[in-house]
Amino acid sequence: MSGLTVRHRRTTALDAVDLDFGPGVHGLLGPNGAGKTSLIRVLATVAEPARGRVEMLGNDLRRHRERGAVRRELGYLPQDFGYYPGFTVREFVAYVAWLKELPAAGAPASVERAVARVGLADRIDAKVRTLSGGMIRRVGIAQAIVNDPRVLLLDEPTAGLDPEQRVEFRALLRELGEEATVIVSTHLVEDVAAACTGVTLIEAGRVAYRGTPETLAALGADGHESDGNAIERGYTTALRGHRSATVTGATR
């Protein structure tokens, strides 16, 4: 993406952002309102930028036909995803597989595999309305991966998951990132540390930091134990450094 600008009425959510992502698991960090969800929504083709260019899998998202081609290769889990509570898990994930135009012959096996990968094989024929919040979140992950996407976009995917489920999810992320481009927006820096190969920190619609979890942790290596772990301190250090640089630049 180049010069990506997103506005919500009078608010600029993303301000001329230039970014590129390749295969692997990429963590998006930043405070509330930083622009993470706006970025994910543009990449998911559910929102259009005010300005800028986005190319995904060789397709220009400004062109209707090319957006359609991208959607077949895309997996997306928004913060609040819609579902039909009267559907079973199998029916709902199969419905999403149909929307993504999976071949009918192979769709049932793809559905069962996706559900099994999120640990819900024993609940595949349960009504979605009977599931816990954490289970529903896992259904959301299953529908996002049912087409073995080449690009997977996840907005706060571990919300509602218990610690054991989060550990299992991180392992799944690492597996998916071996062949796909996975972009995870999260507030949980420990998820980034455990699962991501790269990290991008967004602050007030601009890129504040890019690196790896290791380089981010190195920024916080000199802090005190009472200040949290190294990657949390590195996050704070990078954020404060960006804010300071922004203020300095504005006063020149």
pLDDT band at 145 (very low <50, low <70, confident <90, very high): very high
Of the candidates 38, 64, 19, 59, the residue with the CA atom closest to the CA atom of residue 150: 59
pLDDT per position as a tens digit, 152-186 = 999 988 888 888 888 888 999 999 999 899 999 98
Q: Indicate the burial class of 223 (C-beta count within 10 angstroms; 0-12, 13-18, 19 or more).
A: middle
How many other CB atoms sit within 10 Å of the CB of residue 222?
Answer: 9
- For Cα atoms 236, 22, 59, give the angle at the middle one, nearest 5 degrees: 120
Q: What fold characterizes domain 2-73+151-251?
A: Rossmann fold (3.40.50)
Asked whether the beta carbons of 243 and 235 are under 8 A apart, the reply is no
Q: What is the pLDDT of residues 194-240, one digit of tens each?
A: 889 999 999 999 999 999 999 999 988 866 555 668 888 899 999 99
Q: What is the pTM of this model?
A: 0.91
* pLDDT per position as a tens digit, 11-38: 899 999 999 999 999 999 999 889 999 9
Using CA atoms, how far apart are residues 127 and 38, in angstroms rounded to an integer? 32
Q: Residues 68, 19, 176, 203: is their CA dihedral positive or negative?
A: negative
The full set of domain ranges for the chain reads 2-73+151-251, 81-148
Q: How many CB atoms lie within 10 A of CB 141?
A: 26
> Which DSSP category does 162 fall into?
-
Neighbours of 112 (CB within 10 A): 17
